[in-house]
Amino acid sequence: MSFGDPNNPYGAPQGQQPGYPPPPPQGQPGYGYPAAPQGQPGYGYPAAPPLQQHGYGLPMEMPGLMKTARVLLFILAGFQILVGFIIGATVGAVQDVSNGVGSGDSTDGLAGLGYLFAALLLGLGALSIFLGVKFKNGGSGIRITTIVYAGLMILGGITNMVNGANGSATFGGLISLAMAGIILASMVTGAASAWFNRPRY
C-alpha cells in the first residue's frame, strides 16, 4: 500500500498512518510545540517587575519625624484637655463658693474668663487630635496648619514662662515650648514636604 511520494514534505512521514499527528517526543508537550522554559513568560516578552519594586499603588512609610510629631500632638492634646477640665472644674467650684458667701456677682467676670480659657484649651486639644489623625492621609494644608499651630504654641509657651514667676505656669510653658518646637522643626524638613505632597493612588 502506497501513501504517495516519500519526499513530499506535506505527506505523512515514513511508517506513520495518514491523518494522525506524530507522537510527541519524550519530555515535551504535545502538538509539536516545545514547552516554554519554567520561570519565563511566553510570547517573547520580558516579565514586568513586581509592583513592590516601584511602589505603584502602595502607601509610603510615614517618616520617623512625622511619627514623632504625631505622637507629640496626641500627648499635647491630652495635656490640654486635662488642664482645660481642671480649670473649668476649679472655676466652677470657686464660683459656687463665691455665690455661697454672697460675693458671686463680683467674681462673675473672672469666672467667665476662666471658663473661656478652659474652653480654649479644650478646643486646642481637639485641634491637636484632628491634626494628629490627619497626618496619615492629609495634604499640604494639614502641614501648614500644623506649622502655624506649633508657632502659636511656642509663643504661648514663651508667654507662660515669662509670666509664670517660676511657678507651675513656667513649667507648663517649658513643656509646651519643647513639644511645639519639636513639632515645628519636624514640619519644615524635606521629609515632611515629601510626605504631605506625596502622590495618592
Q: Is residue 103 part of a domain?
A: yes
Tens of pLDDT along 23-59? 555 555 555 555 555 555 555 555 554 444 444 444 5
pLDDT of residue 51: 45
Q: How many domains does the chain have?
A: 1
Residue 55 lies in a domain: no
pLDDT of amino acid 193: 87
- Establish if 149 belongs to a structural domain: yes
**Per-residue confidence (pLDDT) for residue 74, from 0 to 100:** 94
Low-confidence ranges of the chain (pLDDT < 50): 49-58
Q: Which domain holds residue 120?
A: 64-196
In a domain, 168, yes or no: yes
- Asked whether the beta carbons of 56 and 183 are under 8 A apart, the reply is no
Residue 178 domain-assigned (yes or no): yes
The reply to whether the predicted model has a pTM over 0.85 is no
The pLDDT value recorded for residue 81 is 92
User: What local confidence, expressed as pLDDT, does residue 151 receive?
Assistant: 92
160 in any annotated domain: yes
Q: Is residue 20 in some structural domain?
A: no
Is residue 190 one of the residues assigned to a domain?
yes
Task: Return the pLDDT at 122.
Answer: 93
